[in-house]
Amino acid sequence: MSKLTSNRWLAVGWFLLTAVPLVFLGAFFFWPLASILRASVTLAAVQAVGTRPYFLNTFWFTIWQAALSTGLTLLVGLPAAYLFARYTFPGRSLLRALTTVPFVMPTVVVAAAFRALLGNQGPVNQALMVLFDLSRPPLQLDQTLWIILLAHVFYNVAIMVRLVGGFWANLNPRLSEAARTLGASRRQAFGEVTLPLLRPSLIGAAILIFLFTFTSFGVILLLGGPAFSTLETEIYRQHVNFLRPDIAAILALIQIIFTFVIMVAYARWQPSTAVSLDFRPEKSNIKKPGIWPEKLAVTAIMSGLLIFLVAPLLALIWQSLVDREGNLTLAYYQALPQARRGSILFIPPLLAVRNSVGYALSTVLLAGALGLMTAVVLTRSWRGRSLLEPFFMLPLGASAVTLGFGYVVTYTTLRTSVLLVLIAHTLVAFPFVVRSLLPVLQGIKPNLREAAAVMGASPGQVWREVDLPIVGRALLVAAVFAFTVSMGEFGATSFIVRPNSGFLTMPIAIGRFLSTPGGALNFGQAMAMSVILMAASAAGFMAIERFRYADIGEF
């Protein structure tokens, strides 16, 4: 083959690598969003949303519950970030990993865990009834704002530990020590030295937490019930319950605009707050607690954090193993393979487990292939790369509920298709795959490829012999990310899968069990399926932590 022909084939290969992900995003991300825009331009829908107090109250509640959730997460997360940034103690690595486990849990599992812990039959209420000799559960938190806020803090405290704690751990402690030497108290040194240095990471974390709680869907829907409605849940209810896709489209458009503004603010904030600091390795900054006030503070933070993180998950496991009389049983797990007469599901619950595994494995293949193509293209030095990378990351900031609504508006012929579920899962997992692969591919030294080429290797051989062995662990991390994200996807799938469909997934089945009163068996099966999903998510997270190359590929 001549050199000219070889170059032509190489150019065709690069074109296909670039075109395939772009076509996928165009067809299944930008076109559905454009369809929402077209569907929303109706005078009646605009008048209804703009004049009815209900929708204005929904928008206002979406904002202030997100702001309150963010503030509470900062209050809870700041001591935790300080703990990991400055002290070493037995079990530190395990506790730090536990802070991240809730973040990778599907929202339906988080909702089920708090229902298990704080519900009428939960261990907290049962213990209080025994302790104070009460005839009824004293804590009525289900379908209240408090349980929503607790779940949001539980879900997002990992952002504080990872972003703020990681930044804090590398700050030079001598800066605050110098202030103490000059006569400042601990509080003054923190307020006038440490806090201003932490401000960029704190505001960055706050923006991310606000974005996640602003677009919260599963927690609001399952724990808040009909009494609370955000833009996310109202989009779902207007389309599914009230058959008003035009109003749902207006609400989705408002959310897209608001989310975009938040993302732009976050993108502009980061470079504008970058300062030159004297960073130190984390290991040189952490120490064992010395004097007794330090030991007491470290013990208190450790204990509180451990109870807050572990109690809901343990309650979830416990509720899946006991009946209403408190007797140990495996009946809820044994009932999963059965199609029970009168059940709210039209299939055996175990079939939903199999469906989720099948979707997840298919998502690994499709999202892995598209993500690998994208990562390879973004590692190539060419003029448009700087514009293309944020373009491919746009789905990361999109609401899954908005995407699901866009799909049912755009692809009416695929409304009940298994293919549409797979596409939705792939699009949600795609940015995580790219973020897992791209840093590793960018870290490969060019001289390794050049040496292989000098020795006569073709581009394909260079990829197989040089790139692939290095990126292998990152591919495994990307596959686990895709699998875990698909297993827990709830927002987009809620629009696509019908209740009487044989293609229900685990999160949809859990959501139906939790939202439909039906006695102990419904609740117990929801707990059992949630435990299975929790175990899969936790195993995925541990695999990611085990196989990730250093801290490369952080989500």
**CATH assignment at residue 241:** 1.10.3720.10
Do 294 and 339 share a domain, yes or no? no
User: Cα angle vertex 210, ends 493, 252, to 5°?
Assistant: 45
Please name every residue paired with 171 in a beta bridge, in sequence order, or none if there are none: 279
- 389 plus 289 within the same structural domain: no
Do 104 and 149 belong to one domain?
A: yes
- Global pTM value: 0.85
Q: Are residues 280 and 405 in the same domain?
A: no
pLDDT at 98: 81
Point out the domain boundary residue: 319, 349, 383. 319
List, for the chain, all residue ranges whose pLDDT scores fall below the cut of 50: 1, 272-276, 552-555
Residue 171 sits at φ, ψ, to 5 deg, of -75, 145
State the pLDDT at residue 170: 74
Residue 13 covered by a domain: no
Do 275 and 365 reside in the same domain of the chain?
no
The answer to the question of residue 22 being in a domain is no
- Candidates 320, 306, 554, 308; CA nearest to 435 is 554
DSSP state of 324: T
Q: Are 214 and 262 in contact (CB under 8 A)?
A: yes
In the chain, how many domains are there?
A: 2
Q: Which residues have a Cβ under 8 Å from the Cβ of 274 and sit 6 or more positions away?
A: 200
The predicted pLDDT at position 363 comes to 94
Are the beta carbons of 507 and 488 closer than 8 angstroms? yes
Task: Choose among 195, 334, 214: nearest CA to 266.
Answer: 214
Output the pLDDT for position 555: 44
- Same domain? For 315 and 341 the reply is no
Residues 301 and 342 in one domain: no
Q: Cα separation of 131 and 128, whole Å?
A: 5
Q: Is residue 547 part of a domain?
A: yes
One domain for residues 372 and 481: yes
Q: Which of 319, 348, 382 is the last residue of a domain?
A: 319
Q: Which two tokens stand for residue 175?
A: 């800066």
Going along 285-357, which residue ranges are E strands? none
Q: What is the Cα–Cα distance from 177 to 194, expressed in whole angstroms?
A: 10
In a domain, 244, yes or no: yes
Q: Is residue 453 part of a domain?
A: yes
What does each C-alpha distance from 173 to 68, 265, 335, 412 come to in angstroms?
31, 30, 57, 59
Type and span of the H or E element at 277: none
Give the structural domain span for 534. Answer: 332-555
DSSP output for 78-134? HHHHHHHHHB--TTHHHHHHHHHHHHHS-HHHHHHHHHHHHSTTSHHHHHHHHHTT-
Residue 480 and residue 347 share a domain: yes
> Do 118 and 185 share a domain, yes or no?
yes
The answer to whether residue 193 sits within a structural domain is yes
- Whether residues 238 and 348 share a domain: the answer is no
Beta carbons within 8 Å of 310's beta carbon, 6+ residues apart: 98
Pair 401, 545 in one domain: yes
Rounded-to-10 torsion of CA 320, 321, 327, 328: 170
Answer yes or no: is 150 within a domain: yes
**Beta pairing partners, 328:** 322
Query: Does residue 5 belong to any structural domain of this protein?
Result: no
